[in-house]
Structures are given as structure tokens and as C-alpha cells.
Structure 1
Amino acid sequence: MSNNVSPLEEAALSGDTDRLYALIEEDPDMLNAVDAKPFVNTPLHIAASVDLRTNPDEELKYLYFATEIMMLKPSFALKLNPQGFSPIHLAVKNGHSKQARRLVDMKKELVRVKGREGNTPLHFASQLGECDLLAYFLSACPDSILDVNTRDETALHIAVRNQQFDALGVLIGWLKGNTRKGAASLERSILNRRDVAGNTILHLSVINHDIQALNLLINNPYMICLNAKNLEKKTVLDEAAGNADMVSKLSKSGARPGSSLEDDPNWGPAYRLISNSRHENWYATLTSIRRIRWNISDNQRDAYLVAAALFLTAIYQSALSPPGGLYQADGSNLNATSSLNSAAGKSVLSTDKFAFLTVINMLALAFAIMSFLFIIPTGMIGALLIAPTFYFGISYVYSVELITPPRETTRHLSAGQVTLLFVIIVSGLLITAGMTNLRVRAVAGLSPFTAINKYILRPILQMFRRSNNASNI
């Protein structure tokens, strides 16, 4: 060995664990002296720097040595050497795949250590096409897929830029198979992430003339944005100009040139914010809904959902079993066209009483449904719950129509018609007034409660009075 190599470095270069402990016996503070330096080649770095690609048979020896060092000084694994690399970076670079896995097993966060130019071990594995390590790193630390380097490049950018098609397949396959919370939005955001030049991985596949990567990416039309522009205002179709094969594939997939998207009103975050400021009412409504959703804890959401479900069940049951019950058919003469048989299944209440009961129930139903829509979780499951809620309301209205007192008995409008009119008028008022955070306080300078009383409750009471007057004629 050279005179410039210390005994500790000699032990690390040879992977000699016995020599390491002999040196510690001579100087117990030796490892602490190394740890005190901010940028240093620790014994862990040196062991990972040995190129095993020319001598793979010695891998286990260096693995055991690295494991001993890691147990004695875990902080060494996080240090960068003067060249800007951590031990796990060097292990990936020099063929120490078992050592890299062992280090990650002992500390999973090592996958996210940023070294030179902000590259993580995941970036390194992607650059070198180490597919087995990529899969292992992602399994051990899924959040590492979010890491970007100083060029804002993800591991996918690195794979495409270095034309590592298999590595790109591993990364995309992991994204598609991910089932964690928010997996769909994560897949979309990673696949369409832009680097500092505004290029997505689809841009890079075209720039590098990588037809394999292009074919793989355009097979995900629901996740890949085909018309994203880079900082030069070019789409992938613009970048593909001159390559007839790529142009043909992109055009068939729906890609468009940048010139046709210049006036696209949905392009750019600044435009969307300006647009929001010009549509105060609907934007305030959406913002209010989002704020309410975010301010509800999971425990509160569970309790509110249970309460809303109980209210909806009780309200629906009141429609099926109104006070006083329903007219029953004459079992001895079912074929007779008697007034009793024609009223079978109808409420025994008079229409005005039945209408009043229906309106009260409909108010409770409208508030319960609105509360339910506020507190259901966002995402695909929440969207699926909206449809049965809508059909539940329709079923309620139809059930009310079926048990409405017969016209020949009451001689005026059925409660079902009154209910439908109520749904159209009152629900619209409730949604307009309530969902916009009670902005009716601006109407004539009234408080919210006074305005609701004047513009919602009084018209309803007047409607009932007119109905009662009509029934007395």
C-alpha cells in the first residue's frame, strides 16, 4: 500500500473486519475523528468504492465489512465524500448490489439521500439500468419516486435521458401497480413532471429519438399529457418534426402542434387565477366547499356520515309510513271499482296536511343530502356516492307520489306535484343561498337569517295559504 493510505483505509480497501477492530483497540476515538469531518471518505465509502464488476467473488467480504461499519457508525451512511457521493451511491455505481440492499434494509431513508447534483440512489440505479435495485428501492421506500435532482428530473427523466428502456418499464410498472392512497394522482403527476427546461419524459423520448420509450408512454393516454408545452412553447409533436414515424404515432394518439394551442384558455396557472377572480360567485362556492372538506377531521367525518345516514333513513321511512297509515283494499271484492279500492295504498291524510308533512320532510331531506355531499370523501369513491344519493332523492319523490291522497277524494293538486314544485324552487334557493356561504346578507343589508326568512320561508308559507284557500272553495 502507498504511504498516503492510512491503516483504516487499508482495512476498508481489503474488507478486513479483523483489522478494523484491531485499529479500534489501538485508538477507540478513531471513528469519531472521521465522523467529525463534514465531507470525508469514511470506511463505508471506501468499501463501496472497490469496483466489484471485475471481481464479483469478493462481494460478500465487503458486505460484511460494510455491515459492521454501519452498526458502529450509522451516521457514515448519510455522509457525502468530497466528490458528493454517499456510500450507497458508490455501492450502486460499483456493482455492490447486495451491499446497497443491506444498507437500505438497515435504514430505508438512505434511498432518498441526495448527493452530487441532487441525484439519489434511485436516480443512480435508473441511470445505470439496475432494474432489480430499482424495484427493491421502490418497495423499501415508495416516496423516493417523488425525489428530483437539481434539474428537476425524476428517476423517469433519468431513465429516458440515458435510454434505459427496461428501467423506465420498471418505474412505470411500479406506478401503474401502486395501490396506496392517492396512487392515481401520483401516477399522473410523475408521468407529466417537467424538468427545468419544461420537458416531460414524453418530450425527452422524442428529443432522444427513443421510439421504444415513446410507444410505452403513449400507451397510457389517460395519464400522459400529449400536448404539454416546454419552456420553448413546443409540444412533443413540434419536437418530433422531421421524424415521420414519431409524428404519425403522436398524431394518431391525439397530439397537437403548439401553434394550435397558443390560445388555449386552460393553459397556464396565471390565467386560471385571473379567471377565478372574474367569476366570484361560483369560485367562492367551490372554495367554501373545499375549505369545509379540509377542516373536517376523519373522526368528525365518520360521525357526520353516520348521522346523515340515520336522518336519510328516518326521512325515507316517514314517506313509506305516513301518520294515520294508508288505505287498504277490500279483500272480499278486489275486482270492484269502489272508491276504497281505487284509494288503496294512498295516505289517509287530506292533501293539505299531507302536503305540509311532505314539505317538512323535504326540507329535512334537502339539508341532509347537502350535508352528506359536503362530508363524503373526495376522489373516485366520493364521486360514486353522488349517483346513489341522487337516485335516492328521486326514489323519495316517486314514493311520495305513489301514496299521495287520491284526487277524487281531495279535488285539488296532488302532494306529489306540490313536492316536485317544492324540489325545483326550494332546493334551488337552498343551494344558491346556502352553498355560497350565505352571501344573502348582502341583499338589502339583511342578516343571513332575516334574508332566508324573507326570501325562502315566507314564500313557502304563502304557497301553503293559497293551497288551503283553494281547498276550501
Structure 2
Amino acid sequence: MESKLYEAAAEGNVTIFLELIRQDHLLLDRVLVNYAIETHLHVAAMLGHTDFVREIIQRKPEFTRELDSRGSSPLHLASAKGYVDIVKALLFVNPDMCLAVDIEERNPLHLAAMKGQVHVLNELVRVRPQAARVTVSWGETILHLCVKYGQFASFKAVVEVMNNQEFVNAKDDYGMTVLHLAVAYKQIETIKFLLTSTSVEVNGLNANGLTALDVLARSRRGLKGFDIAESLRDAGALRAAEISHWRIETPPLIAQNVATNQPDREYQWVQKTYKKEDWLTRKRDSLMVVASLMATMSFQAGLTPPATERSHEAGTSIIADTNQRYYSQYLAANTISFMASMSIILLLITGLPFKRRLFMWILTVIVWIAISSMGFTYRISLLVFTPKSQKLTVTRVLEYAVIAWIGVMALLLLAHTIRLIVIVFNKVENVKEETQKPPPPLSYTKNINL
């Protein structure tokens, strides 16, 4: 009789179930006492047989509290599979099973979040919202699990119901917040949602003393990383070293200004310095990507120069045989672009002092040279590919483009050069003023010595 009951549960056959109960009124009680692995309610809930589940819990609601060999209740199984009707039926009988945990300390809400069952998750949170605050092993919250298993829809659903600062900034046993974890997993959508729609602490420290920006800096570089860095910086994120310096420098300045009723000029200056450093850091990361792309393009262009279908010596460049002047110009421009790009990468890797405007000016000039050389390479390639009937028109268009480009580059270079000269001149004047200051009065010097 019990084996037939399990077969009926697996098939979801209510007719056979009712017939078995008619034949043996104590059948459910025997199963409740003798089952070793799972009850037939576990089987029906796991397979999504809604009518069968309702028939069982109507006769024996205590089956909803039974756990299988892994500590899972029928609500665990139905939640993981996303059977909303079964979840509602089980919750109606025993809503406290939302708080029951399996051998891995996960309740039904955790499983629904991990599997992306948003409709089930909304129902569970509505009935027992406190179950969403239960942590699993290693102190992970339900938000940590959503990020860990890449379930943004579940993450958003939980946050929209329980969006408070303490919950969003909760840390696991390693001190990792959901922002740390989302940055580590490069989940841009989750990061942007946290930064724009929650009160997440962007500069929170984990157990190793790292902020989210530090976690990003230690991860593998890529295009996603630069997008994430931009979003974090816009939200005011800092590196741990910057935070330490901030905390050391600002309190005395603020205290002094409050005592003297003066505006926080020094505090504003510190903020301005950090904004400047953030901009330089972002520019450095962008330059690294641009330089790598330009170096790759120049290297590929050097190995595969433009060609037309003409006879030539095998293994040599076609353009070198057909037009040596174009080939010389092409090779020179491409080599300059490649060497300039490699120089940028070398300067960035060796730790260029970005706070010095002179070095930034040098780096900017090298970037201009690399981009301009690549533009000349593109010009020569077009001239090689263009048929003779259209070469005159294309040549004129390219000449105008080159003249315009040279004019823009010249203006930018002149503006930056003038700016650099003015800065250097102002620094020299400041030094002269300091050296020309008269010595302090003798009485003042004596007082200081005393």
C-alpha cells in the first residue's frame, strides 16, 4: 500500500490516492511514522502535482513539517522548483516553515532566490519577511546568495521589499558586503542598482581592509572593470589607502575651523585633491586600454599592409613592389604609432607620477602622436585601395581632413603647453616670494626658542 502511494504521488494521480485511503484509513499515519528518506508529500511537491499536495495536507497538515534526509521540507522543494500554487497551499497550512532550514542552513527563501524563482520569492517574503534576514553558512545573507548565483531579478525583488541600510550593508564572515561580492563577480547591473537605488556604503571595508574599489583593482582587468570603476568613482568610492589618509587629515582641520568659526577651506582643498586624484586614476586606466588597442592594431597593420591584386614576389609586401613611396610612408607612420603605444604602456606600468603635470603633459603628447600616426596609416591605406578614377577626389578629401586634424592637434598642444608654462611660472614666483620674505623679528624668534 505504501509503495502504491508513492507511485500515485510520483504520477500525481489523485484518484488512486483516494482509493488507497478508502482501503486503509491509517495509511498516511503509517507513512508518517515509517518513512526513511522522504514522504509522498515531498515527492508531489517536488514534481509539481498541486491537486495531490492539496489532498494530502487537507487530511494530514502535519506532513508540511516533515523533513527529508537533507533536512528539506516540502516547501523547500516547491520553492526551488518555482511551483507558486503549491507554495501558497503549503504556506496557508503552515507559514512558519519559511523559517525552517536544511542541513546547509538554507530556508525556502534562500532556495527560491538562488534559483531565480521571483514569484515564489515574493510570496514567501510577503508571508514571512523575517525569513529573508536569516543567514546561511559563512554568514551570507540572501542578498549574498543572489549575487553569488547571478540572480539579479531575485536580488532586486528582495531589495525592493527590504531596502534598509543595515540589511543592504550586511557583511559575511569575511567582511564582504554585497557590493564587494558584486564587484568581485563583475556584475555591472547589480552594482549600478546598488549605487543608484539603495543606501549601500561604497567605502565599506572587508576583513582584509579592502574597499570595493580595492577588490576591483585586484581582479582581472577587462572592459567590464573600467565601466565598474567609473560607476564606483562617480558614487564617491575610494581606495583603502585614500580613506586612511582622509581620516588622518580631515578631523583636525574641521575641528580647527569649527573652533575659529571659519569656513572649511582646508577641508574643501582636501576634497578637491581627492577628486583630482580620482580623475587621474580613471585617465590612467583608460589610457592603458587605449594604448593596448592601438598597439594591437599597429602590430596587425604592420604584418598585413594594404595590397592590390598585382603580381609580386611571393612572401613580400605587394605595396612595397607597386609603390615604394606609399610603402615607406605607411611603414613609418605605423611604426611611430606602434612605438608610441608601447611607450604609453611602459610608462603606465613603471608607475608614472600622475600628480606631476609635466608627466601628464608628456603622456598626453605621446597619445596624440600615436593617434595621429594611426590616422596617417589609415590615409595611406585608403589611397592604395582607391581606384585611379576616384583617387583625385579621395586625395583632396584626405588632404582637408589631415589639415583639419593637424590644426586641432596644434591648438590643443599649444593650449596645454601654455598652461604648463603658466603653472611652472607661478611655482617659480612662489619660490622667489618665499626666499625674499624678511626674517621674523628678533623678539618673535626669542619667544619661539623659549
- TM-score calculated relative to the size of structure 2: 0.50
Higher helix residue share: 2
